[in-house]
Structure 1
Amino acid sequence: MSEKLSFVQPTPNSPWGTYLQQVDRVIPYLGDLARWAETLKRPKRALIVDVPIEMDDGRIAHYEGYRVQHNMSRGPGKGGVRFHPDVTLEEVMALSAWMTVKTAAVNLPYGGAKGGIRVDPKKLSQKELEKITRRYTSEIGIIIGPHTDIPAPDVNTNGQIMAWMMDTYSMNTGGTSTGVVTGKPLHLGGSLGRVKATGRGVFVTGREAARRLGLDLRGARIAVQGFGNVGSVAAELFVEAGAKIVAVQDHTGTIVNENGLDLAGLIPISRTPAGAVGFEGGDKVPNEQFWDVACDILIPAALEGQINADRARKTSARLVLEGANGPTVPEADDILAERGVLVVPDVICNAGGVTVSYFEWVQDFSSFFWDEDEINVRLDRIMMNALNQIWDTADKHKITLRTATYAVACERILTARQERGLYP
């Protein structure tokens, strides 16, 4: 008899609890594959590691790190590594599971994985950051590799972090292995188009969703929560299409301008310690007022669980584009659906990053690299094909885009699981 308890019991309103509810909602659409659904609720492997380093002042500090491989039925694990003081095993489990769904939704030959260290990287020197990255990589080196599990950048990690990870893994295995991570610097096997890929995917799916809604992007008002790589790139592309950014929220606060914020001035300042609120071209307001700003499109591109029931009732947006992973809790999802607000879910909306990571991985194996125009054409085609199939599924079953995305993705995942069978 199958044990019904999950791998880790979710805490209330946690990312893992949100994911489990999303899986439960798709089971009625899986047909005979539903007998395998419990597979989706259990990570294949979870590794917790101690990451000790010598600090600049001579102290020995210990940090906790994680790497979770959720499902690898369709290929090697794929997923980012985040450095954040609030990282937990439960969060990393959820993020790895969303990667499983995401890679299947755009039909990439990957499974899902994720990693992280519970640390505030802003409190580390550059040397300490390198030490913690290299030690973490050595500790998880027993389960990662170009054919098994390929990390990438995520919150507070970047191309330099990936370069250190690649070098550490390569030194430990005795040869240069560029394909062990993606999101690397260009001269170490990185891909053109990778930095802007996630934000571009948000724009491409948002543009199609707006077209289907009859929402003209020219003059459309957009509010963006999270103004890092994803939020700022998506904002730039929407402005190029004629929209205006009326509100931005980042870790420093919220800035609003109903006539549109000047991104040419805002983006450089947002990259400094002053953050978005250091920009003088808008009004600074309390963070909760961000959700009251009159807008047509809302882009949550920060962390999980940001759109709760109250905020779902407040927003005036007709379209929500999930640039972040898991930004909407299930209760809020229902409220948005009842209000007629279209949500393009994270597992398709922000899949541009992993898609170009796939391109990078392929290019590393072949040692043949494409130009940026070719990458963007390939990215747009994959994203549009995936979204159109998901939309057809939503129309067929009269379900939300999120449930339709899970239906398409989980059918692929569980078909692979069924066809592979159980070993031994």
Structure 2
Amino acid sequence: MTLTHNPGDGRTPLGPSPVSGTGTVPRIDVAQRTEPYTRTDPFDRPAAHEVAWTDPVTGARGWLVVHTLVGGLATGGTRMRSGCTRDEVADLARCMATKTAAFGLPVGGAKAGVDLDPRSPGALGVLERFFADLRPWLERSWVTAEDLGVAQSDLDVVFTRLGLDQSFHAAMLRSPDPAATLARVREGLAARDGDGLPLGDVIGGYGVAQACLGAAAALGSDPERTTVAIQGIGTMGGGAAWYLHEAGVRVTAIADAAGTLFHPRGLDIPALLAARDHYGEIDRATVPADVEVLPRDAVLTVPVDILVPAAVSYALREESVADVSARVVVEAANSATTPAAEERLAVRGIPVVPDFVANAGAAAWAWWLLQGQVGTDPQDSFNRLRTEMRGKVAHMMDAWRTDHTVPRRSAWGFAAANLEALAGREITIP
């Protein structure tokens, strides 16, 4: 089962630069510019609704946090992992609300989580009982999806057992013809890209790759001169690695649970991805002899242009920032950087493209699909996501280059404006 220093004006030039590898990072004189570092998150407010749950059979605990409703709907995945907490779920729900608003999606943000090892016997039964007790939410207001420890196939099994069409059920009921809408959505979900990969599996990673390419453009770096390190090569990290490689970017380091693989001239990404097992670990027997095997956390410190934490939340903490050599961080994992770490990175001249923009590709695409804005032609989906992601990253990086407004703050600005514009809107699904 898958339940798997520029001392003069405090500015860092972002024009063309030599190929990375020196490990030198300009510093900002933060004493001159304190205002851009103030964290005034407009989404940092109490959740609209919260449900705590205890499994009557195993005692496992779970939570649903609905941070924001738009038109009576909220969307957000369901995760299952040992050690999952209410605070984690609440933080992710807030992030999801910010994510949907950043892309102007007509839906609020939510998240669910169960504190259980997804490999445990009976995990699917726990998930089924969790959803059974939350059925009123699933029928009326909450659209869920796969997340850490829970695959879409698991959701499909459980929703079938519960007599619900699938995890888009609450949105489908807004359609005048739910059966036709369901057929259209299923057709879109079954579409494959030019490499034969299911579009729904790779669109999120494609979005992260486009965020990286947008950041590289702001750095004045062509794809062929850009180096990237990726922590985590599951669905998101692996997809980002694939599309970056296709764009000509040198992915020089990738990390899985067993360690970091590094090659300064770039790794053979297709071969390494093909050697992953069910849990996203690379078979070390297939790794070429000229690839250096490093400790797992080394991926955070190798000299590259762009660092992509795509594995776990809070991978970049305050104590690890001094060793980061990248010129920009692109968050593929939710809450990959702690607030204190992000501030320290900004002081060092390293901007962080926030998760709620960089990893929002799958969420945005799902709602474009639901609304009939994209269909079965994968190129339409790629073009739409590339245009929106590049535009948002360019806006954030321009604000950073102009007055050192950190990317997260400028993204909060357009997300809040979008949410205000959505207030009172009735959601219809064609």
Tell me the TM-score normalised to structure 1 length: 0.78
What's the counterpart of residue 329 of structure 2?
A: 320
> Given the alignment, which residue of 39, 43, 57 partners 1:25?
39
Instruction: Determine which structure has the larger helix proportion and give its number.
Output: 1
| CA drift at 1:325 | 0.7
Q: Which amino acid aligns with 2:409?
A: T
Pairing 1:11-410 to 2, within 5 Å after superposition: 25-26=39-40, 40-52=44-56, 60-73=57-70, 76-124=73-121, 128-145=122-139, 148-171=141-164, 176=165, 179-180=168-169, 190=189, 192=191, 193-272=199-278, 275-276=281-282, 278=284, 279-281=286-288, 282-363=291-372, 369-390=375-396, 398-410=404-416
Whole-angstrom CA distance in 1 between matches of 2:66 and 2:419: 14
CA contact (8 A) 2:230 2:299 kept: no
**Structure 2 residue matching 1:320: 3-state secondary structure:** strand
**Structure 1 residue matching 2:99: 3-state secondary structure:** helix
In structure 2, do the counterparts of structure 1 residues 250 and 74 end up closer, same or farther at CA, with 3 Å as the change threshold?
A: farther
Whole-angstrom CA distance in 2 between matches of 1:400 and 1:75: 32
Whole-angstrom CA distance in 2 between matches of 1:396 and 1:260: 32
**Structure 2 residue matching 1:374: 3-state secondary structure:** helix
**Structure 2 residue matching 1:215: 3-state secondary structure:** coil
| CA drift at 1:356 | 1.3
Whole-angstrom CA distance in 1 between matches of 2:141 and 2:161: 17
CA contact (8 A) 1:254 1:285 kept: yes
**Structure 1 residue matching 2:189: 3-state secondary structure:** coil
Whole-angstrom CA distance in 2 between matches of 1:72 and 1:276: 40
The two structures, once aligned, show a CA RMSD in angstroms of 3.0
In structure 2, do the counterparts of structure 1 residues 113 and 165 end up closer, same or farther at CA, with 3 Å as the change threshold?
A: farther
CA contact (8 A) 2:74 2:143 kept: yes
| CA drift at 1:75 | 5.3
**Structure 1 residue matching 2:264: 3-state secondary structure:** coil
Deviations 1:222-271 (A, max 9, x none): 11111100101111111112122222112232222223222222112222
Q: Which amino acid aligns with 1:47?
A: V
Tell me the TM-score normalised to structure 2 length: 0.77
Q: Which amino acid aligns with 1:190?
A: L
Whole-angstrom CA distance in 2 between matches of 1:232 and 1:96: 24
In structure 2, do the counterparts of structure 1 residues 214 and 198 end up closer, same or farther at CA, with 3 Å as the change threshold?
A: same
Q: Which amino acid aligns with 1:343?
A: V
CA contact (8 A) 2:117 2:123 kept: no
CA contact (8 A) 2:330 2:358 kept: yes
Whole-angstrom CA distance in 2 between matches of 1:181 and 1:255: 43
Whole-angstrom CA distance in 2 between matches of 1:24 and 1:293: 29
Whole-angstrom CA distance in 2 between matches of 1:180 and 1:361: 11
Whole-angstrom CA distance in 2 between matches of 1:384 and 1:228: 23
In structure 2, do the counterparts of structure 1 residues 81 and 225 end up closer, same or farther at CA, with 3 Å as the change threshold?
A: same
Whole-angstrom CA distance in 1 between matches of 2:48 and 2:131: 20
Aligned residue-pair number: 369
Q: Which amino acid aligns with 1:131?
A: G
| CA drift at 1:337 | 1.2
| CA drift at 1:384 | 3.4
Larger relative contact order (C-alpha < 8 A, sep ≥ 6)? 2
| CA drift at 1:188 | 7.9
Deviations 1:148-205 (A, max 9, x none): 110011112222122124324435xxxx4663289x9985873532211111111112
Q: Which amino acid aligns with 1:49?
A: W
CA contact (8 A) 1:255 1:276 kept: no
Q: Which amino acid aligns with 2:50?
A: A
| CA drift at 1:134 | 1.7
**Structure 2 residue matching 1:324: 3-state secondary structure:** coil
In structure 2, do the counterparts of structure 1 residues 266 and 218 end up closer, same or farther at CA, with 3 Å as the change threshold?
A: same
Q: Which segments of 5 or more consecutive residues in structure 2 lack a partner in the other structure?
A: 1-35, 172-181, 192-198, 426-430
Q: Which amino acid aligns with 1:136?
A: F
- Mean Cα displacement is larger for which, 258-267 or 81-90? 258-267
